[in-house]
Amino acid sequence: MITKALSSIALDQNAGASLQTQLCLKLKAIIEAGSFKPAEPLPSSRELAKDLHVSRNTVIAAYDRLVGEGYLEAKARSGLFVTSSLADLKHLPPHRKGTLSSADPSTKSPVPRLDTPPPFRPCQPDVRLFPLALWNRMRSRSLKEHGSRILHYQSNFPAGLPALRQSLAGYLRDSRGVRCDWRQIAITTGSQQALFLLAHLLLKPGDRVLMEDPGYLGARLAWNSAGASVQPAPVDENGIVPSFRESPSPSLVYTTPSRQFPTGACLPLARRAALLDHAAKLSAWIIEDDYDSEFRYTRPPLPSLHSLDSSNRVIYLGSMSKVLFPSLRIGYLVLPDSLVDKFSSLRAVVDDHGPLIDQATLAEFISSGAFYTHIRRCRREYVERLSTFLRAAEHTAVPLVFPHTDGGMNLMGLLPPGTDDAFCSRELKSAKLDIPPASRYAIKTTKPGLLFGFTAFDHSTIRNLMRVVADSLSFAIKKRSKVIKCHQSRFRTGG
Amino acid sequence: MITKALSSIALDQNAGASLQTQLCLKLKAIIEAGSFKPAEPLPSSRELAKDLHVSRNTVIAAYDRLVGEGYLEAKARSGLFVTSSLADLKHLPPHRKGTLSSADPSTKSPVPRLDTPPPFRPCQPDVRLFPLALWNRMRSRSLKEHGSRILHYQSNFPAGLPALRQSLAGYLRDSRGVRCDWRQIAITTGSQQALFLLAHLLLKPGDRVLMEDPGYLGARLAWNSAGASVQPAPVDENGIVPSFRESPSPSLVYTTPSRQFPTGACLPLARRAALLDHAAKLSAWIIEDDYDSEFRYTRPPLPSLHSLDSSNRVIYLGSMSKVLFPSLRIGYLVLPDSLVDKFSSLRAVVDDHGPLIDQATLAEFISSGAFYTHIRRCRREYVERLSTFLRAAEHTAVPLVFPHTDGGMNLMGLLPPGTDDAFCSRELKSAKLDIPPASRYAIKTTKPGLLFGFTAFDHSTIRNLMRVVADSLSFAIKKRSKVIKCHQSRFRTGG
């Protein structure tokens, strides 16, 4: 009964794929090669199992799968047959025939490992501090509470789950003085999506965006993707300098007032007021990216721009990536009423809505107070790492000055004037350190510096690697000045 | 010791907010109103607790939170004080002063309930069939396996987790004959995001897209968002008619060959070949939206366009929304090699990458075989609902013809020629039934019809509501023909 074709099957107990999968693939290859006659029934599972020296369950499961996928069909009282209409498959391009039996070549190529942030990559929270077990319990509770509703499409809520938007409205009111109706809150899959959606909501090709320089690259990409051009705004030790060119006037101003990215400056109240005045005069939107506002170590928070705005032109942007964990992919916007419906329409085209189970869990996490507890815990831990970092920097006498050490997750270390920070960053890279140069974030020239993240790394890592930083930097600065001197002397001698 | 300001605090044991939250808000309001002198220490937690008749822990927790948020600061051996630099807050706009103590007005407005799909809304899976407990166990296993890495940014993988892309490559190879390296698979947050990203990857303003008419609205929105214009392609009982106008020639063809949306037609092999030939001649991309391919009840699958394509111009699109559950928000693309890097760059601007824990869980779900088991289970259940639906339709003699009943989650019911399907759909809406008209999906005129989903509803619901459908339709058709006769007679008499 076992046909010649089937007798060619050989299964490998030690292969990566299960016997069932191997059998499926080989049967498909035989069927697709046309070696099996449609009129002839397949052997019973018992027979084939005996012949192949595998358990009968393996054959039953393989047959079941092939019936499910339409390769085989059962005929009453006659057994299993190759599906009659599979004669069509003779039209298959020749390159495909017989290939199904071979393993997927791609599974053999090495798979890249997931990334763990190398020191001192900026903007990385210590995800080991996150109370994952508690989060998972709240997730189970949310699933029970919402029942199957939470699994359905909720296309009525492209801006996110109402429960989460309410919890966030409470948090923003308590912590940042942002007063809004929950309907003004729009959940996004992170701050990058928020920026992208705002760009396409507010800008048209040729519009101008005033943006801190140096500033956040992801934002610049978003404005450019909408066809807008970026007008750099100077940043000094107090953050963005609120001087607008009136013509051509910008449609939008992007700023990180709580802690300027990447310099770390905090925008004083007077400048906040001036920024609001200017924007009102020019009818420009302000995007307040309240990046890093949760982590303040010495000073109380200044009121958010949103809380100071009386003309509804500030759009507040926040993210859970750094407060909870980055791969959660939840960010949010506080929109003026006039943009709420437009946002929903755009979101319906871009991706309908975000994943909802995580949103329901986060709502519970915030309203239970666990969110506040977690932020406090991170703050306590991060302020200690900050002090370890600064002590180590002092101890190893790194050639860096840190002007803003009162908050956030990153420290901008200024290099001696004239140093090539990109060159230094490359030298550090060869020591497996990821410390980007200030110039990477700048359109015009900026003070040379290096941006360190300190929050994701242990005290011992910080201490040990600061020595490597110090050595690499001294070496890089000397090497560079030699190269420059050499160039200069060649220039003088005309060589 | 208790100051006059503090003595005004009244807490409500029966309020929605906890005593701790109420106390926090009232203390903030007092601080922001400037009623509290910076030089004066706050009462001890013991004193305040006694005075307010609450537990001491409540006061300690509230104080702790206000210290965390920067409102209070501890001074060694002197107790807690209002943070000295909060003097700045006198700049607060008057509208904000004292408002923090009142509850958020928005929390009092009613929150809309989450949606459960009303009968017979199309494209809704029965999420109650989903093995959520098993999924949750696999989620826990993935979290253990990946450790904290899975919580970090993985900006190296904007196209998604390698493990998931490998599992999907295996599934697509086994089930749809799609052969690709896992690096060609890009994970998206659903098919809408996939369409949006493709539109912005492949089209420039003014380009033309050939699209099935009637066809999927979400796709039309995506093409339009990139500034492209849509050229309707006729659809007959065998799906898209592969006749291209050569000038202006389209840059992209969008089709749903497994089961045309919304008509339900399956594209025969000869047309698949013709479509590929035409597209190759015009150097157009083909987007194969393999919508509903998992649910076939009577016939085996035809090979996907992707598996027949030898010129790398077919982009395959799939979604987990209907196979697993919609709010998961996972879709995927199979891209030609030439688009892989461009896709990643675009994704980095649009939203960086999707949530990773779900992706890791799905990888496990597929590679364990649970995915196949679930699809088979749904298929068995859905085919029974389909037969209940068709029996009920026959029994109630609904004035509809169902030409394609061999697969999918929806049935297009054709109305008698000349019927106004939008009018019928509105009549059904007033009976709380969500059954969209065929004309909603069409650019040119189309055969009048109504699109029913049958997969998310119980047998008894299907049977009971088919009676309502039949009655509403007979009523609507009579009413409409009366209106038309009336118009005609008025026209004849010149009235």
Contacts with B328 from chain A: Cβ below 8 Å: 151, 355, 357
How many cross-chain Cβ pairs, A to B, lie less than 8 Å apart?
A: 301
Q: Which residues of A155-170 are buried (b: 16+ CB within 10 A; e: fewer)?
A: eebbbbbbbbbbbbbb
Residue B484: predicted pLDDT: 64
- Name the closest residue on chain A to residue B64, using Cα atoms: A376
> Quick one: B96 and B199 in the same domain?
no
pLDDT at A388 over 90: yes
Whether the upstream peptide bond of residue A262 has omega within 30° of 0, thus cis, is: yes
Q: Is residue A116 part of a domain?
A: no
The CA–CA distances, whole Å, from B414 to A377, B401, B418, B447, B481 equal 62, 5, 11, 7, 17
Q: Between chains, do B156 and A115 touch, taking CB under 8 Å as contact?
A: yes
Q: Which residue range(s) make up the domain with B295?
A: 128-371
Q: Between chains, do B107 and A166 touch, taking CB under 8 Å as contact?
A: yes
**Which of A 7-36 lie inside 8 A of B, CB atoms?**
20, 24-25, 28
Q: By the CB < 8 Å criterion, does B170 face chain A?
A: yes
Measured CA to CA, the distance from residue B314 to residue B307 in angstroms comes to 9
| A70–chain B nearest CA distance, Å | 4
Residue A474: predicted pLDDT: 94
Measured CA to CA, the distance from residue B90 to residue B102 in angstroms comes to 19
Q: How many folded domains does chain B comprise? A: 3
Q: Could you read off the pLDDT of B354-402 as tens digits, one per residue?
A: 999 999 999 999 999 999 999 999 999 999 999 999 999 999 999 999 9
- Name the closest residue on chain B to residue A359, using Cα atoms: B327
Residue A105: predicted pLDDT: 47
| B488–chain A nearest CA distance, Å | 40
| B139–chain A nearest CA distance, Å | 10
Q: Is residue A349 part of a domain?
A: yes
Helix axis angle for B162-176 and B356-367, nearest 10°, is 40
What is the edge-to-edge ordering of all strands in the sheet holding A185-188? Answer: A185-188, A331-334, A314-319, A285-289, A252-255, A208-213, A229-236, A239-240
Q: By the CB < 8 Å criterion, does B88 face chain A?
A: yes
> Quick one: B396 and B364 in the same domain?
no
Residue A115 has its nearest CB partner, among B92, B152, B225, at B152
Q: Are B330 and B441 in contact (CB under 8 A)?
A: no
List the structure tokens of B321. 């929304």
| B75–chain A nearest CA distance, Å | 13
Q: Between chains, do A89 and B303 touch, taking CB under 8 Å as contact?
A: yes
Name the residue with tokens 């507040």: A316
Q: Between chains, do A355 and B127 touch, taking CB under 8 Å as contact?
A: no
Q: Between chains, do A107 and B188 touch, taking CB under 8 Å as contact?
A: no
Please state which of the ranges A14-18, A99-103, A428-432, B240-244 shows the lowest mean pLDDT.
A99-103
| A166–chain B nearest CA distance, Å | 7
Q: Is residue A117 part of a domain?
A: no
Domain end point (choices A356, A372, A388): A372
**Average pLDDT, integer, range A430-457:** 97
Q: Is residue B46 part of a domain?
A: yes
Q: Is residue A88 part of a domain?
A: yes
CATH number of the CATH domain containing B38: 1.10.10.10
Give the CA angle between residues A412, A415, A418 to the nearest 5°. Answer: 135
* Chain B interface, best mutation among A85, A151, A295, by max B CB count within 10 A: A151
> Quick one: A345 and A443 in the same domain?
no
| Count of all residues that appear for chain B in the document | 495
Q: Between chains, do A154 and B115 touch, taking CB under 8 Å as contact?
A: yes
> Quick one: A77 and A147 in the same domain?
no
Environment class of residue A15 by beta-carbon count within 10 Å: exposed (0-12), middle (13-18) or buried (19+)?
A: exposed
| A224–chain B nearest CA distance, Å | 10
Decide the pairing of beta strands A239-240 and A252-255: unpaired
* Chain B interface, best mutation among A65, A97, A148, by max B CB count within 10 A: A148
| A480–chain B nearest CA distance, Å | 31
Q: Between chains, do B152 and A192 touch, taking CB under 8 Å as contact?
A: no
Domain end point (choices A312, A340, A372): A372
Q: Between chains, do A355 and B328 touch, taking CB under 8 Å as contact?
A: yes
Q: Is residue B51 part of a domain?
A: yes
Name the residue with tokens 């429960």: A163
C-alpha B50 chain-centroid distance: 52
> Nearest-CA neighbor of A41 among A77, A83, A80?
A80
Measured CA to CA, the distance from residue A51 to residue A2 in angstroms comes to 8
| A64–chain B nearest CA distance, Å | 9
* Chain B interface, best mutation among A351, A362, A368, by max B CB count within 10 A: A351
The CA–CA distances, whole Å, from B41 to A107, B79, B81, B82 equal 67, 6, 5, 8
Q: By the CB < 8 Å criterion, does B278 face chain A?
A: no
pLDDT at A306 over 60: yes
Residue A302: predicted pLDDT: 82
ipTM score assigned to the predicted complex:
0.82
Q: By the CB < 8 Å criterion, does B112 face chain A?
A: yes
pLDDT at A270 over 60: yes
Measured CA to CA, the distance from residue A66 to residue A12 in angstroms comes to 20
Q: Between chains, do A153 and B296 touch, taking CB under 8 Å as contact?
A: no
Residue A130: predicted pLDDT: 98
> 3-state class of A333 per DSSP?
strand
Contacts with B189 from chain A: Cβ below 8 Å: 189, 351, 354-355
> Quick one: B289 and B425 in the same domain?
no
> Quick one: A197 and A175 in the same domain?
yes
Q: Between chains, do B68 and A372 touch, taking CB under 8 Å as contact?
A: yes
A187 forms beta bridges with A332
Q: Report which of residues A192 and A8 the model is more confident about.
A: A192
Residue A34: predicted pLDDT: 66
Q: Between chains, do A329 and B193 touch, taking CB under 8 Å as contact?
A: no
Q: Is residue A248 part of a domain?
A: yes
> Quick one: B13 and B88 in the same domain?
yes
Q: By the CB < 8 Å criterion, does B78 face chain A?
A: no
- Name the closest residue on chain B to residue A158, using Cα atoms: B327
Q: Between chains, do B116 and A177 touch, taking CB under 8 Å as contact?
A: no
Residue A108: predicted pLDDT: 53
> Quick one: B333 and B388 in the same domain?
no
- Name the closest residue on chain B to residue A83, using Cα atoms: B300
* Chain A interface, best mutation among B25, B148, B358, by max A CB count within 10 A: B148
| A52–chain B nearest CA distance, Å | 22
| B495–chain A nearest CA distance, Å | 43
**Which of A 238-267 lie inside 8 A of B, CB atoms?**
none
> Quick one: B135 and B197 in the same domain?
yes
Give chain B's end-to-end CA distance (angstroms, integer): 89
The CA–CA distances, whole Å, from B147 to A129, A323, B108, B150, B363 equal 13, 19, 41, 6, 16
| A154–chain B nearest CA distance, Å | 6
Q: Could you read off the pLDDT of A66-107 as tens digits, one per residue?
A: 876 667 888 877 788 887 766 544 444 443 433 333 344 444
CATH number of the CATH domain containing A134: 3.40.640.10
**Average pLDDT, integer, range A377-391:** 97
Q: Is residue A387 part of a domain?
A: yes
Q: Between chains, do A350 and B64 touch, taking CB under 8 Å as contact?
A: no
> What are the residues whose beta carbons fall under 8 Å from the beta carbon of B337, sequence distance 6 or more?
B181, B184, B312
Record the pTM. 0.82
| A193–chain B nearest CA distance, Å | 4
Residue B101: predicted pLDDT: 35
Which residues in chain B come in under a pLDDT of 70? 1-5, 7-8, 14-17, 32-35, 37-38, 68-70, 84-109, 246, 482-495
Contacts with B89 from chain A: Cβ below 8 Å: 303
> Quick one: A311 and A427 in the same domain?
no
Domain end point (choices A372, A388, A416): A372
> Quick one: A144 and A170 in the same domain?
yes
Q: Between chains, do B175 and A69 touch, taking CB under 8 Å as contact?
A: yes
- Name the closest residue on chain B to residue A188, using Cα atoms: B351
> What are the residues whose beta carbons fall under 8 Å from the beta carbon of A216, sequence distance 6 or more?
A254, A256, A261, A262, A289, A291, A441
Q: Between chains, do B115 and A153 touch, taking CB under 8 Å as contact?
A: yes
Q: Between chains, do B351 and A88 touch, taking CB under 8 Å as contact?
A: no
> What are the residues whose beta carbons fall under 8 Å from the beta carbon of A64, sequence distance 6 or more?
B376
Measured CA to CA, the distance from residue B342 to residue B456 in angstroms comes to 38
> Quick one: B230 and B279 in the same domain?
yes
Band of pLDDT at residue A16, cut at 50, 70 and 90: low
CATH number of the CATH domain containing A406: 3.90.1150.10
- Name the closest residue on chain B to residue A147, using Cα atoms: B128
* Chain B interface, best mutation among A21, A203, A352, A406, by max B CB count within 10 A: A352
List the structure tokens of A168. 């966030």
Contacts with A453 from chain B: Cβ below 8 Å: none
Residue B104 has its nearest CB partner, among A130, A169, A221, at A169
